[in-house]
Amino acid sequence: MFRKILIANRGEIAVRIIRACRELGITSAAIFSEADKISLHASLADEAYLIGPAPSSESYLNKDKIISLAKEIKADAIHPGYGYFSENAGFVEEVEKAGIVFIGPSADSVRKMGSKTAARKLMKQHNVPIVPGTTEPIKNFEDGIKTANEIGYPVLLKASAGGGGKGMRKISSAIEFADAFEATQREAKKAFADDSIYIEKFIENPKHIEVQIIADKHGNFAHLFERECSIQRRHQKIIEEAPSSFLDDETRKKITSAAINAAKACGYFNAGTVEFLMDREKNFYFLEMNTRLQVEHPVTELITGIDLVKEQIYIASGRELSFSQEEISIKGHAIESRIYAEDPENNFLPAAGKLIEFDLPAGPGIRADAGFSSGSDISVYYDPLMAKLISWSQDRRGAISRMIGALKEFRISGVTNNIPFLLEVFENSKFINGDFDINFIEKEGLVNKFQNDQTSRNKELDEVAAAVAAILKQQAAPQSITAKTTNGLNKWTELEYE
């Protein structure tokens, strides 16, 4: 087993990995930027090293510095968390060249899944259903429009090097295609330094369902069931749950075995996630594979009882999976809420500042994974995720009920956050009935409803404030004239009630 792990990340996920190290008796080494000198992850780790200035490019994304630090402090392995270097094949190669173990899949698996067209081709070869469309980048405009006409509109133009919603464009007719083709190409080139784009049939109002898979370096594979991740706003997930109440046993069997096939197809080891779109008829299509630990991994941990981060470390150290597929089953229901530093009343603009109060909720079936504590600074330099609140119960209703209680118990002051918005979702009857897809937030008009509610609430508050001010002014006015002491000095004249 490893003696020391360097954690190349920050915030809640760095804290999560530190805790796994602690349980395994492994020394945890954190890195922190100048903006994170006073941070939970740096203070909880056994060792912590200043890596550079606040901007990520000079700290958490400084590849050379991270690898040379790992060598210097004799770390046996590096855990990348999510984001940053977690899906960077070049980083994996350099870490391995330095004689350090990367806690994740091989560079080859990361690269294979990094190209969306190559991944689609591979999936097709291994009988994993893909969205109808091309498995090669489109060569030119003529090739593109011909293909789009064959597939039938609407179609989606996607960047081969993209993912997570970046570099996508919906096209509803051949007329639209002309402009969109070059624009998408330009955007792809700018964002990914690669202008290859491909075409998919546009799936209307799908659900976003992903399957957690895990594999060791000895050829053992297992899935840890699915997560329902449809509740999102502009590609930012807000609420995830496991299992999906939309799946029947038969569909679950099909989608999880498709996910295992996907993992086998790219020679995968460690934890990974296969993303699918699912339509009303329960047809599912491979979207992409995330070759990392995901933000929402806790819901899977709570329904299976498996510690994914510990398992990742075991696998990286060469151990076999600590369980077999037959040994795991779904127990109860888990839901995760992402607590973001953002202002739902103001277009969800990222919020920043010092957390005056940050008191996590607790109680039966409640887990809080936070990267911060009272006194922490929330910086504009990084991801706005402050904490994840995860509830578990025997059934979905119970998990929702515990979540609502925990959200109301969470005390945050100093930094604006999305808790009131989350409560709007949990109290929505369609959400409660499991009747939603990836367009839920928009279709329910929740953003506007919330902002309107706030506007009317603000208007009411303004009216109350105005009334109070008027009363104060009335009371103040006579006082300033009449309240005189017996020695004749008007001691109130200094006070102004304007």
> And the tokens for 15?
């804290």
CA distances from 162 to 81, 115, 168, 179, 204 (A): 20, 8, 8, 20, 20
Q: Residues 132 to 191: which contact ligand MV4 by CB under 6 A?
A: 156, 163-165
Q: 11-29 as b/e, with b when 16 or more CB fall inside 10 Å?
A: bbbbbbbbbbbeebebbbb
* 446 binds ligand MV4 per the rule CB under 6 A: no
* 305 binds ligand MV4 per the rule CB under 6 A: no
Closer to ligand MV4 by CB, 152 or 219: give it.
Answer: 152
Closer to ligand MV4 by CB, 95 or 211: give it.
Answer: 211
Question: Is the CB of residue 351 less than 8 Å from the CB of residue 333?
Answer: no
Closer to ligand MV4 by CB, 218 or 235: give it.
Answer: 235
Could you say which of 203, 213, 262, 341 contacts ligand MV4 (CB under 6 A)? 203
Active-site hit among 169, 233, 252, 292:
292
Q: How far apart are CA 255 and CA 268, in angstroms?
A: 17
Say what the alpha-carbon torsion angle 192, 195, 200, 203 is, to the nearest 10 degrees.
40
Q: Residues 234 to 263: which contact ligand MV4 by CB under 6 A?
A: 235
Could you say which of 216, 240, 288, 301 contacts ligand MV4 (CB under 6 A)? 288
Q: Which stretch binds ligand MV4 (CB under 6 A): 42-50, 199-207, 242-250, 329-337?
A: 199-207
Block residue for tokens 């909720």: 361
Q: How far apart are CA 5 and CA 76, in angstroms?
A: 6
Shortest separation between residue 384's beta carbon and ligand MV4, angstroms: 18
Q: How far apart are CA 142 and CA 289, in angstroms?
A: 30
Closer to ligand MV4 by CB, 29 or 289: give it.
Answer: 289
Q: Which stretch binds ligand MV4 (CB under 6 A): 10-18, 182-190, 197-205, 454-462?
A: 197-205
Q: Which stretch binds ligand MV4 (CB under 6 A): 17-25, 202-210, 308-316, 346-354?
A: 202-210
CA 147 to chain centre: 34
DSSP of 86-115: TT-HHHHHHHHHTT-EESSS-HHHHHHHHS
Q: 240-261 as b/e, with b when 16 or more CB fall inside 10 Å?
A: bbbbbebbeeebbeebbebbbb
Helix then strand then coil, in percent of the chain rounded to 5, is 40, 25, 35
Question: Is the CB of residue 287 less than 8 Å from the CB of residue 128?
Answer: no
Could you say which of 208, 252, 292, 333 contacts ligand MV4 (CB under 6 A)? 208
Q: Which stretch binds ligand MV4 (CB under 6 A): 94-102, 196-204, 259-267, 459-467?
A: 196-204
Could you say which of 200, 240, 383, 437 contacts ligand MV4 (CB under 6 A)? 200
Closer to ligand MV4 by CB, 228 or 301: give it.
Answer: 228
Block residue for tokens 């173990």: 101
Shortest separation between residue 159's beta carbon and ligand MV4, angstroms: 10
Could you say which of 61, 89, 131, 387 contacts ligand MV4 (CB under 6 A)? 131
Identify whether 292 is a catalytic site residue.
yes
Closer to ligand MV4 by CB, 10 or 120: give it.
Answer: 120
Question: Is the CB of residue 240 less than 8 Å from the CB of residue 231?
Answer: yes
Shortest separation between residue 343's beta carbon and ligand MV4, angstroms: 22
Q: How far apart are CA 108 and CA 33, in angstroms?
A: 30
Closer to ligand MV4 by CB, 60 or 202: give it.
Answer: 202
Which of 2, 36, 35, 34 is CA-nearest to residue 20? 2
Could you say which of 181, 202, 340, 426 contacts ligand MV4 (CB under 6 A)? 202
Catalytic residue IDs: 292
Q: Which chain residues interact with ligand MV4 by CB under 6 A? A: 131, 156, 163-165, 200-203, 206, 208, 232, 235, 277, 287-288, 438
